[in-house]
Structure 1
Amino acid sequence: MAEHGKTQADEEEEQQVWSWGAGTDGQLGTAKLQDELLPQLLSLTSLPSISMLACGGAHVIALTSDGKVFTWGRGSSGQLGHGDILNITLPKLVSFFDGYVITQAAAGWSHSGFVSDSGCLFTCGNGSFGQLGHGDNTSLSTPAKVSYFSNESVKMVACGMRHSLVLLAGNQVCGFGSGKRGQLGFTSDGTKSVNLPCVVSGLKDVEVTRISANGDHSAAISADGQFFSWGRGFCAGPDVYAPQCLPSSLSFREVAVGWNHALLLTVDGEVFKLGNTLNKQPEKQQLQIDSSEALLAKVSDFDGVKVLQIAAGAEHSAAVTENGEVKTWGWGEHGQLGLGNTNDQTSPQLVSLGSIDLRTKEIKVYCGSGFTYAVRRKQGLSSSPTSS
Structure 2
Amino acid sequence: MDAVMAAPDAPPPAVVFVSAGASHSVALLSGNMLCSWGRGEDGQLGHGDAEDRLVPTVLSGFDAPGITLVICGADHTTAYSEDEQQVYSWGWGDFGRLGHGNSSDVFTPQPVKALQGLKIKQIACGDSHCLAVTMDAEVHSWGRNQNGQLGLGTSEDSLLPQKIQAFQGVCVKMIAAGAEHTAAVTEDGDLYGWGWGRYGNLGLGDRNDRPIPEKVSAVGGEKMMLVACGWRHTITISSSGSLYTYGWSKYGQLGHGDFEDHLVPHKVEALKDSTISQISGGWRHTMALTSEGKLYGWGWNKFGQVGVGDNEDHCSPVQVHLPEEQKVSQVACGWRHTLALTEKKNVFSWGRGTSGQLGHGEIVDRNTPMIIDAISPDGPGCKKLESSTTIPFAAKVWVSPSERYALVPDENVPKSGEAPGNGADVNVPENDVKRMRVRS
TM-score bracket for this pair, using the shorter chain length: 0.7 to 0.9
Q: What is the alpha-carbon distance in structure 2 between the residues aligned to residue 112 and residue 227 of structure 1?
A: 25
Q: What is the alpha-carbon distance in structure 2 between the residues aligned to residue 158 and residue 355 of structure 1?
A: 28
| Residue equivalent to 2:164 | 146
Structure 2 letter corresponding to 1:79: R
Query: How far does the alpha carbon of each residue in 1:273-295 deviate from its partner, in whole angstroms, 9 at most, with x for none?
Result: 12122145479xxxxxxxxx932
State yes or no: 1:253 paired with 2:277: yes
| Residue equivalent to 1:76 | 94
Gaps of 5+ in 2: 1-28, 253-257, 383-428, 433-440
SS in 1 for 2:159: strand
Query: How far does the alpha carbon of each residue in 1:119-163 deviate from its partner, in whole angstroms, 9 at most, with x for none?
Result: 111100001111011111000101000100112111111100000
- CA distance change for structure 1 residues 354 and 139 in 2, over 3 Å: closer, same or farther? closer
State yes or no: 1:221 paired with 2:242: no
Q: What is the alpha-carbon distance in structure 2 between the residues aligned to residue 264 and residue 75 of structure 1?
A: 31
| Residue equivalent to 1:182 | 200
Cα deviation, residue 45, structure 1:
3.4
Q: Please report the TM-score for the alignment, with normalisation by the length of structure 2.
A: 0.73
State yes or no: 1:137 paired with 2:155: yes
Query: RMSD in angstroms over aligned alpha carbons?
Result: 2.2
Answer 1 or 2: which has greater strand percent.
1
Query: How far does the alpha carbon of each residue in 1:159-214 deviate from its partner, in whole angstroms, 9 at most, with x for none?
Result: 000001111121111111100011101033x22x2211111232362221111012
Query: How far does the alpha carbon of each residue in 1:34-65 deviate from its partner, in whole angstroms, 9 at most, with x for none?
Result: 22111112214332321111211111111122
Q: Is the 8 A contact 2:350 2:369 kept in 1?
A: yes
Q: Is the 8 A contact 1:282 1:300 kept in 2?
A: no
Structure 2 letter corresponding to 1:300: H
Structure 1 letter corresponding to 2:343: E
1:103 aligns with one of 121, 131, 135: 121
| Residue equivalent to 2:261 | 239
Q: Is the 8 A contact 1:257 1:263 kept in 2?
A: yes
Q: Is the 8 A contact 1:214 1:257 kept in 2?
A: yes
What does residue range 23-102 of structure 1 map to in structure 2 within 5 Å?
23-66=40-83, 67-102=85-120
Q: What is the alpha-carbon distance in structure 1 between the residues aligned to residue 166 and residue 30 of structure 2?
A: 43
Structure 2 letter corresponding to 1:246: V
Q: What is the alpha-carbon distance in structure 2 between the residues aligned to residue 275 and residue 38 of structure 1?
A: 27
Cα deviation, residue 114, structure 1:
0.7
SS in 1 for 2:95: coil
Query: How far does the alpha carbon of each residue in 1:235-271 deviate from its partner, in whole angstroms, 9 at most, with x for none?
Result: 2701110000111211110001101111111111111
Q: What is the alpha-carbon distance in structure 1 between the residues aligned to residue 336 and residue 146 of structure 2?
A: 25
Identity of aligned residues (%): 30
| Residue equivalent to 1:314 | 335
| Residue equivalent to 1:287 | none
Q: Is the 8 A contact 1:49 1:64 kept in 2?
A: yes
Cα deviation, residue 13, structure 1:
7.6
Equivalent pairs counted in the alignment come to: 338
State yes or no: 1:207 paired with 2:223: yes
1:120 aligns with one of 115, 120, 138: 138
Q: Is the 8 A contact 1:201 1:243 kept in 2?
A: no
Q: What is the alpha-carbon distance in structure 2 between the residues aligned to residue 45 and residue 209 of structure 1?
A: 34
1:162 aligns with one of 153, 160, 180: 180
Q: Is the 8 A contact 2:307 2:320 kept in 1?
A: yes
What does residue range 281-300 of structure 1 map to in structure 2 within 5 Å?
281=308, 294-300=315-321
Query: How far does the alpha carbon of each residue in 1:293-346 deviate from its partner, in whole angstroms, 9 at most, with x for none?
Result: 932100013322111111100011110112111100011121111111211101
- CA distance change for structure 1 residues 199 and 294 in 2, over 3 Å: closer, same or farther? same
| Residue equivalent to 2:37 | 20
Q: What is the alpha-carbon distance in structure 2 between the residues aligned to residue 313 and residue 282 of structure 1?
A: 18
Query: How far does the alpha carbon of each residue in 1:4-32 deviate from its partner, in whole angstroms, 9 at most, with x for none?
Result: xxxxxxxx982322111111110001111
| Residue equivalent to 2:24 | none
1:323 aligns with one of 341, 344, 350: 344
Gaps of 5+ in 1: 1-11, 284-292, 361-368, 371-388
SS in 2 for 1:20: strand
- CA distance change for structure 1 residues 260 and 355 in 2, over 3 Å: closer, same or farther? closer
Q: Which moved more, 1:31-40 or 1:12-21?
A: 12-21
Cα deviation, residue 115, structure 1:
0.7
Q: What is the alpha-carbon distance in structure 2 between the residues aligned to residue 304 and residue 130 of structure 1?
A: 43
2:326 aligns with one of 305, 309, 316: 305
Q: Please report the TM-score for the alignment, with normalisation by the length of structure 1.
A: 0.83
Q: Is the 8 A contact 2:56 2:375 kept in 1?
A: no
| Residue equivalent to 1:269 | 293
